[in-house]
Amino acid sequence: MKKKMIIIGNLIILASIICFCGYKIYQKNHSIVLEFGMFAGSNWDVANANSYVIIDKVIAQFEAEHPGVKVHYTSGIRKTDYSEWYAQQVLIGKTPDVAMILSDDFDKLVSLDVLENLDDMADNDSSFHAEDYYTTALNTGKYRGAQYALPYETVPTLMFVNKSLLNHEGFMVPESDWTWDDMYDICSKITKDLNKDGIIDQFGTCNYSWQEAAYSNGAVLFDEDGKECYFTDQRVIDSVKFAKKLSDLNQGQNVSQDKFDAGNVAFMPLTFADYRTYKTYPYKIKKYSTFKWDCITLPSGPEGDNVSEVNTLLMGIAKQSKHKDLAWELLKLFTYDKDIQLDIFRYSQGASVLKSVTSSKEAEVILSEDTDERERVIDNTLLDVVIEKGIIAPKFNKYHETMILAEGEINKILSDDKNVESTLKIIQRNVISFLKQ
Amino acid sequence: MGDKGIGYVKYIMLIINIVAVSFPAIFIYITTEKICDFYTARSFIGRTNSIPKKPDWILVTTILLLVCLLVSFLLREFVYRERMSFVYSSLAFDFLTSCVLMMVLNFNYNGILFWVFANIIYYVQDKVKMIFMLLAILIYVCTDHEFLTINYHLYSINDYISYYNANTQQYLIGGFNVLESLNIIVFILFCIYVIQKQQGIIEKVNYLYSQLSQKNEELENANEELKQLADIKEKMGKTKERNRLAREIHDTLGHTLTGISAGIDACLTMIDSNPQVTKKQLEVIAKVTRDGIGEIRRSVSELRPDALDRLSLESAIRKMIENMTSVTQAEVFFQCDSENLKFDEDEENTIYRVIQESITNALRHGKASKIWVTIRKENSALHLQIQDNGIGCTDMKKGFGTKHMQERIQMLHGTVSYKSENGFLVDAVIPIRWGEEYD
């Protein structure tokens, strides 16, 4: 009996040694594969023909630097499907080692414990300095003070200006430190009935909402966790009042984007990505070709600054990744390598998340390519300031639903002539109770 | 309610647990597939608070662990039932396996504990069964899913159930809850079986114990009676011996003395008139006296110590010493330079009694641990010395049997002296009647 047991024991030990050796040999012969999650096209809902250029370049460089490591990605996932695709990978337990993270998904993924906390990796990497990133961009990837994702590409919101219209009406393009009053002054003089049919057909603004006004007036709508809201804050009240004042100029007419495209609106907020797409070939002939236009900062309110919302595309590492060190290297190559980040200006529509790249001479050269020499090019030092000072939209779970609720009510103020203060008090109450549900 | 009943309960429990353990793993795996097929993953993870890391891995691990538990159960129940070392190690293995299983399932089902504890309770000693029952309930409560979710990120089967429509949800939740409750009920049933069985054994033990104490009492009574009987018998023996002595004295000594007395009276009357006849008469009296002495000797010989009757003096002494040392801690050294210790009965008796009395004194009064007995012949006398290493005796009293000893020795015209330094010494010199004979 005892002999039998010893034999069985030895056999088990032998079998496990063989298994272990086999596994090691298998590992050696089969290269490590890093899964990369990405979507095709632009994160900023603009056309992008070069979505794989940077990715392929990064992968080629990474594979050259790390022999035996392959990076694999699934191509052809559109941005609209990406969130679903990523969620499916998470559910079936095949979360890509490194992946683009949509800002709407970020909070949920962190709270589901899907993304790796990058603080330790960043601290242990002496070649990595978080200060090199724009604070705004970096903060987008933070959750309760910890870094769960790094920024890859960032896009601030800018004010599109119809230069032809302004010049025609005798105005110059405003300076970058212009104010609400400057804007209202121009809008009130521009809003006209040109063909004298009793309906206004030239407008001051389009799509400029109370929210843009609130950002540039220093207002904060929610706390970080989405437990509190501040709709009755004086700065919010002033913003809504300003938006109402602008909207009143249009005498109840709805100003759609078509009117801006047709050249009948002076100002419209759009993203830097729109600017980059439609300012350069081939898309420059598609839109806004009948008038000259440019981008400037948004006007500052009495208590705020010339700031606007900044959107950032994030990349994160999966918590269950088996090759975190390699994943970190790949993530760093995407987000921290100066050449790759400069490629964002070349092949994408956003701006680099590294301060040194966005404010560099090379970036300026790329930005001025393809534009008419007579036109003014957006100043990359201005861009630098706009990104650094930019505002990040809250990311808590109920944010979108809450904003739909609030916006519906505020739109009623703008159209129905309701009292601003008392309506905001009601909104405040409703939103609080919704947040506490 | 025997082992068969408990066996059935165990099988039912095994089936319930196999179903209940595999249900979350299989259900989560299938639902995940379904969610992906219908492209509802994003909205699904938007509603959940935690998700399992790898549903396929969970499914495979769960089935593997279940197989481990099953194999362990079968081996324990049918192959190595008698080997307690295997039984206990397999129970420990079951406990560890079930802990891993609960962790893999994120405590969505922890009823497997009851299965493990039912087995433990079945095999452990009766005294600790209760402890294990309480332990099972305690761990079950502590590993409650809702309770643990407060502090830990645990995926919940309810999130996956909520993916289905309300009607299916009710069936799924109901079914799973029924399984869990059934498992608890069967466990309670099992405990009741075990407790009842244990109760039966206790009652039996109590019954046997009461019978035992009754028998014990009876035995004590019988012992007491026996003691009384022995006393009576001893007294009867003494009376019988006295009667025999009285008869002996009456028959021999009385007869002889009466004859002698009558003969001497006749001689007294005849001595002056007929000295010749008187002389003859006296010769007759002398013969009668000698016969009487013989008779007395015979009577006395019947009163001699047993050992002396049966054995030679030396053997008797050795036997006596052996008896003494066997009942005490003391050592007795016996030395005798005379090869053949064969004396008259009265001499042998005296020597025997002196040695016996001296040793008794040395042990009782001297508290001696070593006693030396030497017998040697010197100038046709026997030197008898009994030396001990006890505390001795400064104030000699002739009460400790020494008086008796002295009388015996004096009767044989011998001398005895006592010395009390370095223990106690009895030194007796007995003139032996070598060749002296009475007939």
- Residues from chain B that touch A37, judged by Cβ atoms under 8 A, are none
Q: Is the pLDDT of residue B392 over 50?
A: yes
What ipTM did this prediction achieve?
0.79
Average pLDDT, stretch B389-418?
77
| Summary mean pLDDT of chain A | 86
Average pLDDT, stretch B363-385?
84
Q: Is the pLDDT of residue B60 over 90?
A: yes
Contact A88 B36 (CB under 8 A): yes
pLDDT above 90 covers a percentage of chain A that reads: 30
A397/B contact by beta carbon, under 8 A: yes
Q: Do the beta carbons of residue A63 and residue A70 sit within 8 Å?
A: yes
Query: pTM score, two decimals?
Result: 0.68
DSSP classification of residue A322: S
Closest CA to A270 of A292, A250, A294: A294
- Most confident segment among A21-35, B65-79, B329-343: B65-79
Average pLDDT, stretch A261-290?
77
Q: Is the pLDDT of residue A377 over 70?
A: no
Q: Is the pLDDT of residue A47 over 80?
A: no
CA distance B371 to B362: 8
Specify the pLDDT at position B251. Answer: 67
Q: Is the pLDDT of residue B295 over 80?
A: no
Strands A149-162 and A265-271: antiparallel
A113/B contact by beta carbon, under 8 A: yes
Average pLDDT, stretch A405-424?
84
A5/B contact by beta carbon, under 8 A: no
**Count of positions (residues) in chain B:** 439
Query: pLDDT tens, A153-189?
Result: 999 998 888 888 888 888 888 888 889 999 999 999 8
Q: Do the beta carbons of residue A236 and residue A209 sit within 8 Å?
A: no
pLDDT above 90 covers a percentage of chain B that reads: 25
Contact A112 B51 (CB under 8 A): yes
- Residues from chain A that touch B153, judged by Cβ atoms under 8 A, are 113
Binning pLDDT at 50, 70 and 90, where does residue A374 land? low
Average pLDDT, stretch A283-297?
74
Helix (H, G, I), strand (E, B) or coil at A115: strand
Contact B55 A113 (CB under 8 A): no
H helices within A74-206, ranges in order? 79-91, 103-111, 119-124, 135-140, 163-169, 180-190
Specify the pLDDT at position B438. Answer: 36
Provide the chain B residues 103-162 that lie in CB contact (below 8 A) with chain A.
Answer: 153
Q: Is the pLDDT of residue A372 over 70?
A: no
Average pLDDT, stretch B61-69?
93
Average pLDDT, stretch B194-209?
85
- Residues from chain A that touch B39, judged by Cβ atoms under 8 A, are 84, 88
Q: Is the pLDDT of residue B437 over 60?
A: no
Point out which residues pair with A150 in neighbouring strands: A315
Q: Is the pLDDT of residue B2 over 60?
A: no
Burial degree of B368 (CB within 10 A; 0-12, 13-18, 19+): buried
Specify the pLDDT at position B244. Answer: 73
B53/A contact by beta carbon, under 8 A: yes
Task: State the SS3 of chain B.
Answer: CCHHHHHHHHHHHHHHHHHHHHHHHHHHHHHHHHHHHCCCHHHHHHHCCCCCCCHHHHHHHHHHHHHHHHHHHHHHHHHCCCCHHHHHHHHHHHHHHHHHHHHHCCCCCCCHHHHHHHHHHHHCCHHHHHHHHHHHHHHHHHCCHHHHHCCCCCCCHHHHHCCCCHHHHHHHHHHHHHHHHHHHHHHHHHHHHHHHHHHHHHHHHHHHHHHHHHHHHHHHHHHHHHHHHHHHHHHHHHHHHHHHHHHHHHHHHHHHHHHHHHHHHHHHHHCCCCHHHHHHHHHHHHHHHHHHHHHHHHHHHCCCCHHHHHCCHHHHHHHHHHHHHHHCCCEEEEEECCCCCCCCHHHHHHHHHHHHHHHHHHHHCCCCCEEEEEEEEECCEEEEEEEECCCCCCCCCCCCCHHHHHHHHHHCCCEEEEECCCCEEEEEEEECCCCCCCC
Query: pLDDT tens, B231-278?
Result: 998 888 888 878 877 776 776 677 778 778 878 888 888 888 888 888
Which fold would CATH assign to domain B306-431? Heat Shock Protein 90 (3.30.565)
Instruction: Please tell me which residue, B350 or B299, carries the higher pLDDT value.
Output: B350
CB pairs under 8 A between A and B: 50
Task: Report the residue from B39, B48, B55 with minimal CB separation from A92.
Answer: B55
B56/A contact by beta carbon, under 8 A: yes
Average pLDDT, stretch B304-321?
73
Phi, psi dihedrals of residue B427, rounded to the nearest 5°: -120, 110
Specify the pLDDT at position A341. Answer: 92
- Residues from chain A that touch B29, judged by Cβ atoms under 8 A, are none
Binning pLDDT at 50, 70 and 90, where does residue B96 land? very high
A309/B contact by beta carbon, under 8 A: no
CA distance A1 to B79: 14
Weakest mean pLDDT among A56-60, B51-55, B307-311: B307-311
Contact A93 B54 (CB under 8 A): yes
Extents of the domains making up chain B = 3-210, 226-301, 306-431
CA distance A371 to chain B (A): 41
Task: Report the residue from A87, A113, A397 with minimal CB separation from B42.
Answer: A87
Same fold, B226-301 and B306-431: no
Task: Report the residue from B42, B50, B51 with minimal CB separation from A84.
Answer: B42
CA distance A84 to chain B (A): 5
Residue of chain A with shortest Cα separation from B154: A112
Q: Is the pLDDT of residue A30 over 80?
A: no
Binning pLDDT at 50, 70 and 90, where does residue B361 land? confident
Average pLDDT, stretch A301-307?
89
Closest CA to A101 of A33, A39, A34: A39
CA distance A302 to A180: 8
CA distance B125 to B133: 13
Say which CATH class B226-301 falls into: mainly alpha
Instruction: Please tell me which residue, B305 or B125, carries the higher pLDDT value.
Output: B125
What domains lie within chain A, and their CATH numbers?
32-155+311-368 (3.40.190.10), 156-310+393-436 (3.40.190.10)
Helix (H, G, I), strand (E, B) or coil at A73: strand
Specify the pLDDT at position B439. Answer: 35
CB within 8 A of B374, min separation 6: which ones? B335, B336, B383, B384, B385, B387
